Chain A
Amino acid sequence: MAEPDLAHIWVYLSASPLFGLTITLIAYVLAHRLYIFSNFNPLLNPVVTSVIFIVTILIFTDISYYDYFDGGQFIHFLLGPATVALAIPLYRQFAKLKKIWIPVTISLICGVIMGAISSIAIAWALGASYVSQLSLAPKSVTAPVAMGISESIGGIPSLTAVLVVTTGILGAVLGSKLFELLKIKDDSIKGIAMGVTAHGIGTARAFQVSPEMGAFSGLAMALSAFATAILLPWLLDLIGFIKI
């Protein structure tokens, strides 16, 4: 008679938030260990390996994403306070920022426009659907902000979330190589470029390189979230892509 009991426990657990929350933490702890073990190989970024691990388990156990997210939302929620917490490293780097605020502002705005226009233009040229193009536009902005922008311009917020995470991983993986290729050594420049392109995931990667690169990346991520939220709807209207 042990089997029906186990089945009952399983039915109970898979519907409770505890499952989603615990599986997320287990996946991340394992993924993080693997990442350290691989000597910080960017291809084994803990976000990628955790997501693959969790998706595999959900498919095998036939648990829907929505049931999983009942538990996952507790972690997802912390994105808000973490965004606010960026004020502290930002404040610590303020003396340095004050000296270079003009180049930072100009390159940041160029980066934001480049990110939005290039993703739409390339996706359009290759025949992606209109909704996908709109969901792609805010891909370089931190997830909670990007989802809000996506909704306001007519994209699909949850698709945007996935594209945002993918962009972050791409930025974190490609960043070091690209900076090497462009012969950029200044941690403040690397940080700004990383934050504009790859938001929080890039910032997490930047903090591993140096606190300075991390702080500048966090700063760029915060400022570009602000700039994109204001510029993007207007920019898309300007090129005749959407009507506000």
Chain B
Amino acid sequence: MTFLNGITILLIFQLIGEISVLLLKIPVPGPVVGMMLLFMCLFIRDSYSDSMEPVSTSLLNHLSLLFVPAGVGIMVHYERIVDEWMSIGIALVLSTILTMAATAGIMLLLQKILVRRGRDNG
């Protein structure tokens, strides 16, 4: 039953998320709002996080599987990708490296500053 309960709760929160996005006309996808709402609910009912554990673990452990059908869509865009493969490919690789390095670098820098300031104050 735990699994069934878990997936039901996830779908309820996704549904609430989708409905609130439509009603409030916010440009954020429904599941993201659902996640935020579930996150807040866990603070009210801590025990829920234990009963949700099995379903969340089994979904997140095989997250890769869920991307496969979208990935197969590469077939449909075969021609565009063949025509523009150089520019799209280089943009993807460079931008991925830049984004990752910038995020990690800035975070590392900020943490060092905060630690130093904490030491000065203390």
| A83 CB to nearest B CB, Å | 4
- A111: interface (CB < 8 Å): yes
User: Are B65 and A28 in contact (CB-based, < 8 A)?
Assistant: yes
1/0 per residue, CB under 8 A from A, across B25-56: the answer is: 00111111011101100110000010011011
For B60, list chain A residues within 8 Å (CB).
82, 85-86, 89, 203-204, 207, 214, 218
**B104 in complex: contacting residue of A72, A87, A190, CB < 8 Å:** A190
CB contact under 8 A between A84 and B13, given known A79-B31, A132-B80, A171-B100: yes
CA distance A200 to B99 in the complex (A): 16
How many residues in A have their beta carbons less than 8 Å from beta carbons of B?
107
- B19: interface (CB < 8 Å): no
For A126, list chain B residues within 8 Å (CB).
86-87, 90-91
- A102: interface (CB < 8 Å): yes
- A210: interface (CB < 8 Å): no
Interface size class of B (residues with CB under 8 A): 35 or more
**Which residues in chain A, 123-170, are within 8 Å of chain B measured between CB atoms?**
123, 126-129, 132, 136, 139-140, 143-145, 148-149, 152, 156, 158-159, 161-168, 170
User: Are A118 and B64 in contact (CB-based, < 8 A)?
Assistant: no
User: Are B70 and A91 in contact (CB-based, < 8 A)?
Assistant: no
Most chain B CB within 10 A, of A80, A148, A220, is at A80
User: Are A111 and B99 in contact (CB-based, < 8 A)?
Assistant: yes
User: Are B107 and A104 in contact (CB-based, < 8 A)?
Assistant: yes
For A190, list chain B residues within 8 Å (CB).
104
1/0 per residue, CB under 8 A from A, across B68-111: the answer is: 11111111110011001011101111111111111111111011
User: Are B96 and A170 in contact (CB-based, < 8 A)?
Assistant: yes
User: Are A24 and B68 in contact (CB-based, < 8 A)?
Assistant: yes
**Across the two chains, which residue of chain B brings its CB closest to A166?**
B92
Q: Would you call the interface of chain A mostly helix, strand, loop, or mixed?
A: helix
Most chain A CB within 10 A, of B7, B14, B63, B87, is at B63
| B4 CB to nearest A CB, Å | 13
For A175, list chain B residues within 8 Å (CB).
100
**B93 in complex: contacting residue of A85, A168, A170, A203, CB < 8 Å:** A170
**Which residues in chain A, 207-237, are within 8 Å of chain B measured between CB atoms?**
207, 214, 218, 220, 222, 225-226, 229-230, 233
Chain B interface residues toward A at CB < 8 A: 7, 10-11, 13-14, 17, 27-32, 34-36, 38-39, 42-43, 49, 52-53, 55-56, 59-77, 80-81, 84, 86-88, 90-108, 110-111, 114
